[in-house]
Amino acid sequence: MKKINLHEPYQPQNFPPCVLLLGFFDGVHLGHQALLEQGRKLAKEKGIPLAILTFSRHPSMIFKKQAPFQYLLPQTEKEEVFAEWGVDLLYCVEFTSRFANLSAEDFVKKYILGLQARAVVVGFDYHYGAQKAASALDLKMALDAICPVTIVPCFEQGGKKVSSTRIRNALRQGKMEEVQACLGHAYTMKGYVVRGDARGRTLGFPTANLNMPVDQLLPMDGIYIVEVAWEGKTYQGMASIGHNVTFGAHARSIEVHILDFNEEIYGETLAISWLHYLRAEEQFDSVHELIHQLQEDEKNTRQYFAQRK
Ligand SMILES: Cc1cc2nc3c(=O)[nH]c(=O)nc-3n(C[C@H](O)[C@H](O)[C@H](O)COP(=O)(O)O)c2cc1C
Ligand SMILES: Nc1ncnc2c1ncn2[C@@H]1O[C@H](COP(=O)(O)OP(=O)(O)O)[C@@H](O)[C@H]1O
């Protein structure tokens, strides 16, 4: 996949004809995947590259005072997913005031026809142009005669629209099964292992402490059943997102105890998949009670995986 950065006003270049998908695609959920499927099919039929027009940062960053934006999937990982889907070209626009103020007509001229689109695929709720005033239907009416526009209908799960907002809300409530149903796979984040207080091993439950992602949305605080991928292997585990309240005020940390595992892995990168919310973090009166609870968590975790088989 070739990535081409664009900054309004960009210099016209010799772009190849393409099938163009439009959108931000945060999380690349099942709704986004429906667009990718459709785009891939059209690109194959026409024998031309599949391209995506997206933004280097989330548009809300220029409208709201909220940096860093917390993504469902950090940009570099999203690009890896696009490449796996067979996307050939990624047009990445820096979302600036100048870009946001383009009229709908200018956007179509510069960023659809200018990028040599021969077919366009958008979702049913797509909007574009200044104040996002133009809709997917407007795009179809403006463009269809010269460049066919496919509008992908609403993709639902459990009778409700799949959207990045819905996934964010579910993450904030620890509803990991709903998140997974919308994504088509478990919510996953990558992090490398940093040192903690070296207390875990004394409890009989060593925990790999992960560096905190700065730009990815965390699930709600609590204790979870997880899967840990490391060096091409997958391990069962249980993880905590919280403040280790039993031991006084700590900054929020992500810690994972990997079952049936005993290796030093400081500095290693792990991918944690969040499968199921077990319980809230508790403040125990004694270390002994915490250990007892960790043993219970382990029992529940093993049971979960045994039943999943
Ligand atoms: C599955 C799991 C459940 C946990 N539950 C709690 C809890 O309920 N209350 C709490 O204070 N700490 C909880 N912790 C965090 C432990 O306090 C923490 O892992 C321990 O203090 C070791 O810290 P260290 O890695 O910095 O040495 C939990 C950790 C894991 C892995
Ligand atoms: N089963 C395991 N799960 C997680 N980490 C483990 C495990 N076995 C050994 N380790 C190693 O032990 C370290 C955690 O031990 P711990 O006493 O909790 O120290 P720290 O507070 O530095 O995390 C991990 O970072 C990892 O290198």
For the cut 80, the answer to whether the pLDDT of residue 143 exceeds it is: yes
What is the overall mean pLDDT for the chain? 96
Report the candidate in 117, 169, 152, 180 with the shortest Cα–Cα distance to residue 33: 152
Cα-to-centroid distance, 207 and ligand 2 (Å):
4
Q: What is the mean pLDDT of residues 136-155?
A: 97
Cα-to-centroid distance, 269 and ligand 2 (Å):
14
**Cβ proximity of 154 and 139 under 8 Å:** no
For the cut 90, the answer to whether the pLDDT of residue 222 exceeds it is: yes
Quick one: pLDDT at residue 309? 80
Percent of the chain with pLDDT over 90: 93
CA distance 133 to 72: 26
Cα-to-centroid distance, 208 and ligand 2 (Å):
5
- Spell out the domain ranges in the chain: 2-160, 186-308
Ligand 2 atom, smallest distance to 197 CA: 21
Cα-to-centroid distance, 219 and ligand 2 (Å):
22
75-112 per-residue burial string, b: 16 or more CB within 10 A, e: under 16: bebbbebbeebebbbbbbbebeeebbebebeebbebbb
Quick one: pLDDT at residue 68? 80
Other residues' Cβ atoms within 10 Å of the Cβ of residue 309 = 4
Cα-to-centroid distance, 66 and ligand 2 (Å):
34
Please, which pLDDT band fits residue 163 given cuts at 50, 70 and 90? very high
Ligand 2 atom, smallest distance to 237 CA: 3
Give strand pairing partners of 181.
none
Please, which pLDDT band fits residue 269 given cuts at 50, 70 and 90? very high
Please, which pLDDT band fits residue 213 given cuts at 50, 70 and 90? confident
Quick one: pLDDT at residue 187? 98
Question: Using H for helix, E for strand and C for coil, what is the string for the chain?
Answer: CEEEEECCCCCCCCCCCEEEEECCCCCCCHHHHHHHHHHHHHHHHHCCCEEEEEECCCCHHHHCCCCCCCECCCHHHHHHHHHHCCCCEEEEECCCHHHHCCCHHHHHHHHHHCCCEEEEEEECCCEECHHHCEEHHHHHHHHCCCCCEEEECCCEECCEECCHHHHHHHHHCCCHHHHHHHHCCCEEEEEEEECCCCCHHHHCCCCEEECCCCCECCCCCEEEEEEEEECCEEEEEEEEEECCHHHCCCCCEEEEEECCCCCCCCCCEEEEEEEEEEECCCCCCCHHHHHHHHHHHHHHHHHHHHHHC
Cα-to-centroid distance, 197 and ligand 2 (Å):
10
Q: Which ligand is nearest to the CA of 236?
A: 2
Q: What is the mean pLDDT of residues 6-29?
A: 96
pLDDT digits (tens, 9 = 90+) for 52-84: 999 998 988 777 776 688 999 999 999 999 999
Our mutation pick for probing the ligand 1 site, out of 201, 226, 228, 244, counting the most ligand atoms within 8 A of Cβ, is: 244
For the cut 90, the answer to whether the pLDDT of residue 141 exceeds it is: yes
Our mutation pick for probing the ligand 2 site, out of 195, 201, 236, counting the most ligand atoms within 8 A of Cβ, is: 201
Please, which pLDDT band fits residue 307 given cuts at 50, 70 and 90? very high
Please, which pLDDT band fits residue 106 given cuts at 50, 70 and 90? very high
Domain 186-308 is found in CATH 2.40.30.30: yes
Q: Whose CA is nearest to atom 20 of ligand 1?
A: 200
Cα-to-centroid distance, 294 and ligand 1 (Å):
8
Class of domain 2-160: alpha beta
Quick one: pLDDT at residue 178? 98
pLDDT digits (tens, 9 = 90+) for 185-197: 999 999 999 999 9
Cα-to-centroid distance, 46 and ligand 2 (Å):
53
Cα-to-centroid distance, 206 and ligand 2 (Å):
4
Our mutation pick for probing the ligand 1 site, out of 194, 195, 207, counting the most ligand atoms within 8 A of Cβ, is: 207
ipTM, two decimals: 0.95
Q: Which ligand is nearest to the CA of 277?
A: 1
For the cut 80, the answer to whether the pLDDT of residue 96 exceeds it is: yes
Quick one: pLDDT at residue 257? 98
Please, which pLDDT band fits residue 159 given cuts at 50, 70 and 90? very high
Quick one: pLDDT at residue 60? 82
Please, which pLDDT band fits residue 249 given cuts at 50, 70 and 90? confident
Q: What is the mean pLDDT of residues 234-247?
A: 97
Ligand 1 atom, smallest distance to 206 CA: 25
Percent of the chain with pLDDT over 70: 99
Q: Which residues line ligand 1 (CB under 6 A)?
A: 196-200, 205, 207, 209, 223, 238-240, 244-247, 255, 257, 281-282, 290, 293-294, 297
